[in-house]
Structure 1
Amino acid sequence: MVTPPTADALPAAIVDRDQWVCWRTQERDGKPTKVPIRPGTTQFASTTDPDTWTDFATARDGALATPVDGLGFVFTADDPLVGIDLDDCRDPDAAAPTAWAADLIDTLDSYTEVSPSGTGFHVLVTGSLPGGRNRAGDLELYDRARFFTVTGDHVAATPATIESRTEAVATVVDQELAAETDDTATTSGDDMWGTAETTTTTASAPADAGADTVPLSDDELLDRAKHAANGEKFTRLWNGTTSGYESHSEADMALCRQLAFWTGGDSARVDRLFRRSGLYREKWDTVHYADGSTYGEKTVERAVAATDDAYTPPEATDSAAADATQATA
């Protein structure tokens, strides 16, 4: 066993809670599985029984005195904590995350540590976890009835504290989990949660009406957007300012939704205009999804699908009125 971390190496938000267990690896169905152990004993702990948990100091002493592999923290419905588990996304030799994991860690921007195996990461945030599917592939998110192994091997580029990230968590769920369920029936749940449900989700088709939806040049359209009632907000986003948003991804979606309005839901034009903005970055063209979609493609698709209203140029309305008058003359 690696020496367990001290309290000083961990965020106070978890150290101060009496939700600590130890853990050890046990073979289950032919696979190694981490199981919770009651500190100071060799008995199993339960992620739903507080009587089997203890304070941090007692758990640490137990980890040093009994044959276990490390410390663990239990998530409950009564605390505001959410744990995000990223597996098989770190090369221990290079000590660096894959591009996929780096993007998620950047989006969440909260305390992150390396998992015991050295091949994954655990991110801790406070906030709310959306209902529905909580896992897909190498990504899992939990807020109750589960425990995380805790190593204290902090990723230096991330905050040393656990940050409030409800919107960022929703973004991760939307971008990484919802995409996995599009057009499929999926069974979700976990034996430690004791629940399972079947959900059918159908992807919304983006309204790509073509380049003539709003018959204005790109420059004219942008000028109108910048001088509209909410033009100041549009201009900040257009110039690449992300203040007021929990993450760069949140800002990307906000700008794309505004562009979806101004272009009448023309996804190709939204993409073309976004690439001219200060928010555009290399991540836009990175493949993020199992179907081969890039981050940018999926962001535009969701922005267009979520935007119900569309801009109608006054001259288009005038033209339609004139045509109607001629038709009845």
Structure 2
Amino acid sequence: MINNDDHNSIALDSDFIDMYQVEKFEQQYYDEGYYLLGDETKDEYAARMMAEIQNKAAEIIKEQQQKAIAPDPLAAMKAFNQWIVWREEPNPKPDGKPIKEPKNPATGYAANAHNPRIWMSYEAAVAAAERMSKGSPKPFRVGFTFTAATKLFFFDLDNCIDTDTGEIRTEATELMDLFPGCMVERSVSGKGFHVVGTYEGDEPLHDKKADGWLELYTDKRFMALGLDDGRKGDAGMKATVELNKLIEMRFKPELISADGKEVTAEWTTEYDPKWNGFEDIDEQLTKALAAQPSNDRLMAGKASFAELHAGSNAGFPGDSEADAAYFFDLAYWFGRNCDVIEAVALSSDRARDKWEGQVYSNGDTWLRREIKAAVARQTKVYDKGFRSEDGNRKVLEQVEYLALMAEAQRKAVVDGIDHAHVDILRHVDDSHIWKRLSQHYAYLQYLPVAACKYKPQDLQTAIFSARINCQ
């Protein structure tokens, strides 16, 4: 019997001990010449060797017992079928570091980590990575996609380990000490750490990057699972207070990262200068509701803007994710004007009590906080087409000119004039007006009819007629 460090009695396997009987050590004492050294007697040598073997056995048994009773650090993450496979690929930028590219497990091609169609269980992801790695010049690895629905946070500390000396940056150690009991692992590069834990309540508002080496995510991010050696703690450890403390220290909510840039989240009351939509809110909303969803959203099976407006969560994990997509769409259609976005959102069938019932310390409602975040992330705004009266006038002049040329061509043919001698339309064709105006065919409905003696449909007919005659 051997006592371990906790003074718990551990019974060694008798077969294990039989392999190292005292008689064998005594024979070894003579066979390997230890007796010539004169440092130990035969009995002392045998006793020392037995003690070493028994201590090693005790260490092995203790390690096995600890593994048997210790919680799986990844258990809270494995509860969600949001695992993916990825492989390191060259960065298209000449000086960029390799990228971690999510892959479709069925095809091996690049995929979107946030597309639920490629998500799977942890076990399935591990099996897929092993299968795909066979014959591949680079190994496929496993990753986990974070969403607000998981209530998990991912704190990434990059380039804080000296790979030559193994020394850990003091500041990194201090930050990780904020989260006792949470899951901690080394990143796959061996140069950084991952900390994963859980939080309670609503998803906290926070910036995503800080100081050039720290990142924090609670949604829309996949984590490349790190190195297995030394992984400890529990990803299911609740650390709401600790997370909020970290946010206050390094990821203040006043700054929201949009496309990797820090942007001040402000409440806007005017339209973005690039927006060119209908001033009448109802008219603009009608236009938005009639629009076709993007190909990305169709491929992902996610609700269109019209469906989100009607309260659907189709294709999204829950209310929060669908709300975020809805506000992002509103920021596009209504020119990042927070006042208008709020009014439209509250009039929708999507509105919930939480939107105005939850108020933060700065006075913002939950709805206002989310709208500001969406406006900060949205970089595009709606543009219906013709932007100015001057632009309209120039287009009208060109369209009317083409219509007049078509009329001249028609009269020339009727009067029996040889088509070869009618060079006007050839001149029009040579001047590439067709090319310049081709984009305007779909916009004829927006032309101010009062400014033109021709009706839009008549102009369109004249344009096509003239173009046919120019062939």
* Residue of 162, 172, 177 corresponding to 2:251: 177
Write the letter of the residue equivalent to 1:73.
F
CA distance in 2 between counterparts of 1:81 and 1:187 reads: 19
Write the letter of the residue equivalent to 1:108.
F
- 1:12 aligns with 75
- 1:198 aligns with 263
Contact preservation (8 Å) 2:198, 2:235: no
* Residue of 192, 215, 220 corresponding to 1:145: 220
CA distance in 1 between counterparts of 2:221 and 2:129 reads: 19
Q: Residue 61 of structure 1: CA displacement?
A: 1.0
CA distance in 2 between counterparts of 1:75 and 1:161 reads: 12
- C-alpha distance after superposition, 1:266-299 (max 9, x if no partner): xxxxxxxxxxxxxxxxxxxxxxxxxxxxxxxxxx
* Residue of 174, 181, 189 corresponding to 2:258: 189
- C-alpha distance after superposition, 1:118-157 (max 9, x if no partner): 000111011165314221111111111110011353546x
Q: Secondary structure at the match of 2:88?
A: strand
- 1:61 aligns with 127
* Residue of 191, 206, 209 corresponding to 1:119: 191
Does the alignment pair 1:104 with 2:179?
A: no
> Using a 3 Å threshold, how does the CA distance of structure 1 residues 171 and 43 change in structure 2: closer, same or farther?
same
Instruction: Count residues with an aligned counterpart.
Output: 185
Contact preservation (8 Å) 1:40, 1:59: no
Contact preservation (8 Å) 2:256, 2:265: no
Write the letter of the residue equivalent to 1:25.
E
Aligned counterparts, 1:223-242, within 5 A: none
> Using a 3 Å threshold, how does the CA distance of structure 1 residues 172 and 155 change in structure 2: closer, same or farther?
farther
Q: Which runs of 5+ in 1 are unaligned?
A: 1-7, 202-329
Q: Residue 78 of structure 1: CA displacement?
A: 1.3
Q: Which runs of 5+ in 2 are unaligned?
A: 1-70, 267-471
- 2:240 aligns with 166
Contact preservation (8 Å) 1:24, 1:70: yes
> Using a 3 Å threshold, how does the CA distance of structure 1 residues 149 and 172 change in structure 2: closer, same or farther?
same
- C-alpha distance after superposition, 1:293-316 (max 9, x if no partner): xxxxxxxxxxxxxxxxxxxxxxxx
CA distance in 2 between counterparts of 1:170 and 1:91 reads: 29
* Residue of 133, 144, 150 corresponding to 1:79: 150
- C-alpha distance after superposition, 1:197-231 (max 9, x if no partner): 72179xxxxxxxxxxxxxxxxxxxxxxxxxxxxxx
Contact preservation (8 Å) 1:111, 1:154: no
> Using a 3 Å threshold, how does the CA distance of structure 1 residues 160 and 73 change in structure 2: closer, same or farther?
same
Q: Residue 187 of structure 1: CA displacement?
A: 6.6
Write the letter of the residue equivalent to 1:138.
W
> Using a 3 Å threshold, how does the CA distance of structure 1 residues 98 and 78 change in structure 2: closer, same or farther?
same
Contact preservation (8 Å) 2:148, 2:203: no
> Using a 3 Å threshold, how does the CA distance of structure 1 residues 56 and 93 change in structure 2: closer, same or farther?
same
- 1:25 aligns with 88
- 1:92 aligns with 163
Q: Residue 100 of structure 1: CA displacement?
A: 0.9
After the TM superposition, which parts of structure 1 deviate over 6 Å for at least 4 consecutive aligned residues? none
- 1:213 aligns with none
> Using a 3 Å threshold, how does the CA distance of structure 1 residues 111 and 16 change in structure 2: closer, same or farther?
same
In proportion to residue count, which structure has more helix?
2
Contact preservation (8 Å) 1:129, 1:170: no
CA distance in 2 between counterparts of 1:54 and 1:18 reads: 5
TM-score, length-normalised on structure 1?
A: 0.50
Quote the sequence identity (%): 30
> Using a 3 Å threshold, how does the CA distance of structure 1 residues 177 and 76 change in structure 2: closer, same or farther?
closer
Q: Residue 50 of structure 1: CA displacement?
A: 0.6
CA distance in 2 between counterparts of 1:134 and 1:161 reads: 20
Does the alignment pair 1:38 with 2:104?
A: yes
> Using a 3 Å threshold, how does the CA distance of structure 1 residues 111 and 132 change in structure 2: closer, same or farther?
closer
Structure with higher RCO (Cα < 8 A, 6+ apart): 1
Q: Secondary structure at the match of 1:97?
A: coil
Q: Residue 96 of structure 1: CA displacement?
A: 4.1
> Using a 3 Å threshold, how does the CA distance of structure 1 residues 132 and 41 change in structure 2: closer, same or farther?
same
Write the letter of the residue equivalent to 2:80.
R
CA distance in 1 between counterparts of 2:74 and 2:206 reads: 28
- 1:130 aligns with 204
